[in-house]
Amino acid sequence: MRLSMTSDLWWKNAVVYCLDIETFADGNGDGIGDFRGAIQRIDHLDRMGVTCIWLMPFFPTPDKDDGYDITDFYSVDPRLGTLGDFVEFMRVARDRGIRVIADLVVNHTSDKHPWFKEARSSRDSRYRDWYIWSDKPEPDDPKGIVFPDKEDSLWEYDEKTEQYYFHRFYRFQPDLNTANPEVQDEISRILGFWMELGLSGFRVDAVPFLVEQVTDSGDLPDPHEFFACLRAFLSRRDGSAILLGEVNLPYDDLVRYFGNDLGDEITMCFDFITMQRTYLSLARNDAGPLAAALRERPEAPKDSQWATFVRNHDELTLDKLSDAEREEVFAAFGPDKNMQLFGRGLRRRLPTMLGGDVDRIKMVYSLLFSLPGTPVLFYGEEIGMGENLELEGRQAVRTPMQWTPHRNGGFSDADPSKVQIPMPTGDYGPEKVNVSAQERDPDSLLLWITRLIRHYRDCPEFAWGEYTVLDAGVDAVFAHRADCDGETVVAVHNLSEAEVEVEIALDGLDSSKVLTDLLVDGTVEISGSGRARFPMGRYGCRWFRASTPETAPADSADVS
């Protein structure tokens, strides 16, 4: 593929890295991460090959929900720095060729936000209609309560004005009334403000809840009209800017948020279903569930994309699996109740779920980077960080980044008593898992992921191409190919610890081509009938490029 084409729609084969400023690096020694500290660590991301940073909320907040309860959409939380620090972070990232997107959390505000404080002061307040009120609580759907461990209703009574306000999440997060044109205009202003400071887009939080009918009034706008307008505003300001949507819905419902065939709404949507089926396949040592998900997945519109991931900042949700399937994954990767959350997910990171098996962990990340779509990493995944189950809820996986084996893991030089979020200990503590050590270890997970990123960027077919799930003849092996502009790449992954022999049929290819392994030395012949046979080791992973023998990438033995 032409580089000029792949760089035009930069996000189609980007490498996105999600980080929380509060837990990434402390630059002023107060025990809390900040922009000044993060600036000094951008080169770590640059060396890995990250092309886009996704910032979790950094706005002023009472911090009851890890920053998702916002009191000012136009500023930086003083604990994390200033607008000047933010601009400097943007400048340094841009200097390294790294784009930045940020969380857009406009489903709700904090109840301490000036808008809501004014709204609840009187029924005649100018901000009253910026929120959703009712004289009596509407019937609750228990399935609609996002945090069933903390909330038992979607409505909260306000004594002063004697009405109930709606909150899809916590009671201290009243939902904004997105039917109100003033609220819609304000959301556009928020986007415009941060784009002027350099953002290349936004990760839209909880997309299906942003515009939803919660009363009988029927006055909410069509959600797809709302997102089409939002995307149009974004594109007018910057044609290359994106919306990355958290849309955890069945495929038939989800594709509508792309804008169906037009692709004029959400630019990229997370593929929650493939992620969940991946864990089911891992639990069973059977590629079937993963293969089925990708066969079922609709094609994204031409200028849209799927975002793939194996871990994010929330619980590892398994809500799209059946009850029996979910229990299989729980039994394999989180059998203790303390490892589970909301009855639907796990609050663990991948390395601990896989028992620290390095071969298996590396195979899963190889799988991630070869899946059709744009890969998204959560900070610390590149070194195999673990969780701290002593922390409450989702906080278990949001511990400080581990840079060195020294005090506070190199996250902060403050007195340890000032670091508010404790790191894991034992086998996953910073003494054993840190960036500094892995940079020097040729067999480390960090250098493996760096290598995967390099090869992923060299194989735009994985992100741009037409993909086909292949039959490998072995239940535990997942194989697929991606074709684009006459080029073919093939990825094969063994989900079991047993060594196996694999044979795949490659329609359209014959003995005039060979398969050259991009991850390890080796060339595989293709028969005249288009079949290739090769071994796969324990949790093995192989990426092949099909080419003529004259143009095939060289094996190291050929150039020694």
Those residues with Cβ within 8 angstroms of residue 514's Cβ, 6 or more apart along the chain or in another chain: 523, 524, 525, 526, 546, 547, 548, 549, 552
- What's the one-letter identity of residue 359? D
Task: Report residue 276: phi and psi, to 5°.
Answer: -70, -40
Determine, yes or no, domain membership for 480.
yes
Q: Which of 166, 200, 230 is the last residue of a domain?
A: 166
Cβ(499)–Cβ(511) below 8 Å: no
Residue 475 annotated to the active site: no
- Assigned domain for 134 exists: yes
Percentage of the chain modeled with pLDDT above 90: 88
Question: Does 246 qualify as catalytic in the annotation?
Answer: yes
The pTM of this model reads: 0.96
Q: What is the pLDDT of residue 550?
A: 85
The DSSP letter of residue 520 is S
Give residue 369's region: left, alpha or beta (phi > 0; psi -120 to 50). Answer: alpha
CA pair distance 73, 194, nearest whole angstrom: 9
Residue 502 included in any domain: yes
In whole angstroms, how large is the CA radius of gyration of the chain? 24
**pLDDT for 237-259, tens place per residue?**
999 999 999 999 999 999 999 99
Helices H, strands E: what count in the chain? 19, 22
Does residue 118 belong to any structural domain of this protein? yes
Quote the pLDDT of residue 210: 86
Task: Work out the average pLDDT over 472-493.
Answer: 97
Instruction: Choose the catalytic residue: 246, 264, 265, 461.
Output: 246
Task: Please tell me whether residue 137 adopts helix, strand or coil conformation.
Answer: coil
Q: Looking at residue 323, what is its pLDDT?
A: 97
pLDDT (0 to 100) of residue 560: 46
Q: Is there a domain that residue 543 lies in?
A: yes
| Domain contains 162 | yes
Where a domain ends, among 106, 138, 166?
166
Which range among 96-100, 335-339, 452-456, 547-551 shows the weakest confidence by mean pLDDT? 547-551
Residue 157, domain extent: 114-166
Is the pLDDT higher at 5 or at 380?
380
Pick the last residue of a domain from 98, 131, 166: 166
Q: In 3D, which of 119, 254, 235 has the Cα closest to residue 188?
A: 235
What is the pLDDT at residue 152? 87
Neighbours of 161 (CB within 10 A): 17
CATH number of the domain that residue 145 is part of: 3.90.400.10
Q: Does 179 reside within a domain?
A: no
Sequence-distant contacts of 435-444: CB under 8 A, at least 24 apart: 435/44, 435/383, 435/401, 435/402, 435/403, 435/404, 435/410, 436/403, 436/404, 436/405, 436/410, 437/405, 438/383, 444/383
Residue 222 lies in a domain: no
Domain tally, the chain: 2
Q: In this predicted model, what pLDDT tens digit does every residue of 156-203 receive, in sequence order? A: 999 999 999 999 999 999 999 998 999 999 999 999 999 999 999 999
Give 223's pLDDT tier (boundaries 50, 70, 90). confident
Instruction: Give me the pLDDT at residue 500, please.
Output: 97
Angle at Cα 137 formed by Cα 132 and Cα 141, nearest 5°? 95
Residue 6 has pLDDT above 90, yes or no: no
User: Which of the following is catalytic: 22, 205, 264, 382?
Assistant: 205
344-351 average pLDDT score:
97
Confidence band of 534 (pLDDT split at 50, 70, 90): very high
Cα distance between residue 178 and residue 129, in whole Å: 10
CATH number, domain of 472, equals 2.60.40.1180
